[in-house]
Amino acid sequence: MREKKGKIYSRLAVTGMMKNYRIYVPYLLACIGMIMMYYILNFLMKSKDIASIKGGNSLQQMLSLGSGVFIVFSVIFLFYTNSFLIRSRKREFGLYNILGMGKKNLARILVWENGTVAVISLAGGIFCGILFSKLAELWLGYVLEGTVTMSFTIDTRAVWESVKLFLLIFLLLLCNALFQVGKAKPIDLLHSAEVGEKPPKGNWFLAIVGFGMLGAAYFIAVSIEDPMSAFMMFFIAVGMVIVATYLIFVAGSVLLCRILQKNKTYYYKANHFISVSSMVYRMKRNGAGLASICVLSTMVLVMLSATSSLYFGNEARLMGRYPREIELYAYTSDEAQQQKISDTVDEILNRNQIEQENVLQYRYMSVGGYFEGNQVYLNEEKLNQNFGMIDFSKIRDIYLIPLEDYNRLMGQTESLNENEVILYTANAAYDYATLTLEECDTWTVKKTVDRFIDNGDAMSTILDSLFVFVPDKSYLDRFAEIGEEKFNESGVAMTWYYGFDLPADEEVQQQIAAEISDGIDQAFGENDKMPRIRRECRAAEKADFYALFSGLFVLGILLAIVFLAATVLIMYYKQISEGLEDQSRFDIMQKVGMTDREIRSSIHSQMLTVFLLPLLLAGLHTCFAFPIVQKLLLVFGIMESRVLLYTNLICFAVFGLFYAVVYLITSRSYYRIVRGIRR
């Protein structure tokens, strides 16, 4: 007997899913896709082939950070889409309840349904993940410019991690469904489709708050000047935009419909009358869905444009960070030590019968300072005491460089009197006639130049840089003494930069860089005091450098795919659920004389109005996000905004085309449901 009852519940569950295939098939595909993506992500994080490539470990660490974001979004997304399923089945469960089934019986049907979904999703997701994991591994190997073996493997750890996570998510979804059905009364279940049909009142207060919050977020985005502040304010601005978007679509859209209804010339037309009256009855729920589409679209656009800018600007950024292929930073003012380093390099290059090219060497001293007008504060304790909260837009890296080095590097013949300086500002301008360094000198600014050589240290920091060209080297020595005496800055010492290129491939460059490093250690010996020397080789650093931005690019693509899937599914479910709800209205309109052409025109007007708004607002969000994203990308060395601008335009054009295709497909589904049910 129990076996027969079990078959009844399983049959009812399967029958219910088959009858509601329009909503279950997309949901199953979404679950399979989520599980597949998570398996691939775990597979790549544990891949030995990827780890063996230079930079592979760095990329895997980046992917592990993104896995947390993926898990959080998977839970939110599946709960959101699962709510459509529960809502569509409530009426059916209400009928079962009235016909004699108790809540325990309904619970068993839900258990069978969720169990079936879980089994199909896990089997399909793991299978597809295994199927495409090798392709993803080969693609990552190509991105990292490494070699991946063609052997096909199945990572059991990734399988177990995926099964464990999504079993927990499906269990939570089941608990949520049991709770919603269990707490509802039979009459509420039967009339669940009509919940929210009462036209909501337009709320001017919420609409004004939404527009005000959006304006404030836009102001934050366009007014931030420095990257550090952009980091601190970015998530605040994002939170404000999300809240404002929901308020505008939920409250503002109702007000828009009310305004359109009051416009008799517009409202009393066949296509507008049906579309506006239909929207206003569901706009509270409709607005939340549209806001979700808008937020997800914005996330896709910002994420793809930012990560694409990072990835495709790799080469230029690498050249800026490492101006020469081999670089030595010797922290010493002793010319004898500098000469010993130079002689060691010449000896090793002669032994390898290779000649250095594009030699670049100069002296500088760097220190961070807080700018208050033309006054620069260097004492950190005094700075905190006087100013409390630090305004990071006023902090800059200062580079002091002897004038003779500037003239030699730039081919100039400038001259300076005592206490005169020439300035070069990399980003932020300096508009004062004098420059005063705390506890040091006050210098007169003779002129500001608009060009200087690339400086790797300046490229590696998020702070703006100010290059100060002083009359001679004695100014640097004096500043070092003052720094050690006044501020206990023993690390304030002159840096001698020595960089050059080699006419050889990257493998030879790394070999010679290693020989130079060993040669310098041997040249100074144990008894000779050797200065602190930083040694860098562009070819050796390239793999990890590329891995960081390639990892961000891969993460951006993976998350963008997930967000796109969420956008498509939300649009599809909106069309399906609203088509089922609108069938009775259009049936009545046809009976009172509305033609099939007028109905199609009305549907087109409604759908175009509803789905064009999220795309337009997402485009507006992306435009105002441009300045703050640009500041954030300065941290990664992207100085030119054109790269971000072009990727933004391309991403919006591609996404707009994709959005239009999805709209056309889903609007046809809506029309077919309405038209089919009427017949």
Q: pTM higher than 0.85, yes or no?
A: no
pLDDT band at 678 (very low <50, low <70, confident <90, very high): very low
Residue with tokens 């400086």: 455
Beta bridge partners of 496: 330, 363
Predicted pLDDT of residue 387:
47
Q: How far apart are CA 116 and CA 112, in angstroms?
A: 6
**What is the pLDDT averaged over residues 129-141?**
81
CB atoms within 10 A of CB 486: 13
Alpha carbon 429 to chain centroid distance? 30
On the question of pLDDT at 181 being above 80, the answer is no
Predicted pLDDT of residue 679:
42
What length is written for the chain? 679
3-state secondary structure 74-98: HHHHHHHHHHHHHHHHHHHHHHHHH
On the question of pLDDT at 354 being above 50, the answer is yes
- Torsion sign across C-alpha atoms 323, 327, 331, 333: negative
**What is the pLDDT averaged over residues 639-660?**
81
**Dihedral pair phi/psi, residue 194, rounded to 5°:** -95, 0
pLDDT digits (tens, 9 = 90+) for 489-525: 444 667 889 989 988 888 888 888 888 888 888 888 7
Q: Which residue has the higher pLDDT, 359 or 558?
A: 359
pLDDT digits (tens, 9 = 90+) for 415-448: 888 888 889 887 777 888 888 877 677 888 888 8
Predicted pLDDT of residue 167:
92
The tokens for 242 are: 């999300």
**What is the pLDDT averaged over residues 366-377?**
80
**What is the pLDDT averaged over residues 590-616?**
68
CA angle 330, 331, 335 (to 5 degrees): 75
Predicted pLDDT of residue 119:
92
Residue with tokens 């102001």: 219
Do residues 456 and 321 touch, judged by C-beta distance below 8 A?
Answer: yes
Residue with tokens 């009339």: 191
CA angle 592, 595, 598 (to 5 degrees): 115
pLDDT band at 1 (very low <50, low <70, confident <90, very high): very low
CB-neighbour burial class of residue 597 (10 A; exposed 0-12, middle 13-18, buried 19+): exposed
pLDDT band at 598 (very low <50, low <70, confident <90, very high): low
What lies within 8 Å, CB to CB, of 69 at 6+ separation is 559
Helices (H), 99-194: 103-143, 156-183, 186-190
On the question of pLDDT at 311 being above 70, the answer is yes
The tokens for 493 are: 């010492």
Do residues 298 and 621 touch, judged by C-beta distance below 8 A?
Answer: yes
Q: Which of 238-247, 291-300, 401-410, 646-655 has the highest mean pLDDT?
A: 401-410
Do residues 332 and 279 touch, judged by C-beta distance below 8 A?
Answer: no
On the question of pLDDT at 549 being above 70, the answer is yes
pLDDT digits (tens, 9 = 90+) for 19-39: 777 778 888 888 888 898 888
What lies within 8 Å, CB to CB, of 480 at 6+ separation is 333, 365, 492, 493, 494
Q: Which long-range contacts does 153-161 make (Cβ < 8 Å, 24+ apart)?
A: 154/130, 155/42, 155/43, 155/46, 155/47, 157/42, 157/46, 158/39, 158/42, 158/43, 158/46, 158/129, 158/133, 159/39, 159/126, 159/130, 161/38, 161/42
What DSSP character marks residue 485?
Answer: H
- Torsion sign across C-alpha atoms 651, 250, 179, 27: negative
- To 10 degrees, what angle do helices 227-247 and 204-223 make? 160
Which secondary structure element, helix H or strand E, spans residue 314, and what is its range? helix 314-321
Q: How far apart are CA 294 and CA 280, in angstroms?
A: 19
Do residues 34 and 162 touch, judged by C-beta distance below 8 A?
Answer: no
Instruction: Tell how many helices (H) and how many strands (E) occur in the chain.
Output: 22, 10
Q: How far apart are CA 398 and CA 424, in angstroms?
A: 10
Q: Which of 247-261, 351-365, 382-396, 649-663 has the highest mean pLDDT?
A: 351-365
What lies within 8 Å, CB to CB, of 96 at 6+ separation is 12, 105, 106, 109
- Name the region of 358 (left: φ>0; alpha: ψ -120 to 50; beta: rest): left
On the question of pLDDT at 526 being above 70, the answer is no
On the question of pLDDT at 282 being above 80, the answer is no
pLDDT band at 197 (very low <50, low <70, confident <90, very high): very low
What lies within 8 Å, CB to CB, of 511 at 6+ separation is none
Predicted pLDDT of residue 379:
64
Average pLDDT score over the chain = 76
Do residues 133 and 43 touch, judged by C-beta distance below 8 A?
Answer: yes
Beta bridge partners of 367: 398
- Can you list the positions of beta strands (E) in 339-419? 357-372, 375-377, 395-402
Beta bridge partners of 242: none
Domain boundaries, the chain: 1-195, 198-313+573-679, 324-537
Q: Which of 121-125, 312-316, 542-546 has the highest mean pLDDT?
A: 121-125
**Dihedral pair phi/psi, residue 468, rounded to 5°:** -115, 115
Do residues 207 and 252 touch, judged by C-beta distance below 8 A?
Answer: yes
pLDDT band at 586 (very low <50, low <70, confident <90, very high): low
pLDDT band at 122 (very low <50, low <70, confident <90, very high): very high
Do residues 605 and 284 touch, judged by C-beta distance below 8 A?
Answer: no
From the list 354, 382, 377, the residue with the least C-alpha distance to 440 is 377
On the question of pLDDT at 358 being above 70, the answer is yes
Rounded to a whole number of angstroms, the CA Rg of the chain reads: 33
Residue with tokens 């939920």: 250
Do residues 470 and 402 touch, judged by C-beta distance below 8 A?
Answer: yes
**What is the pLDDT averaged over residues 589-601?**
64
Predicted pLDDT of residue 584:
64
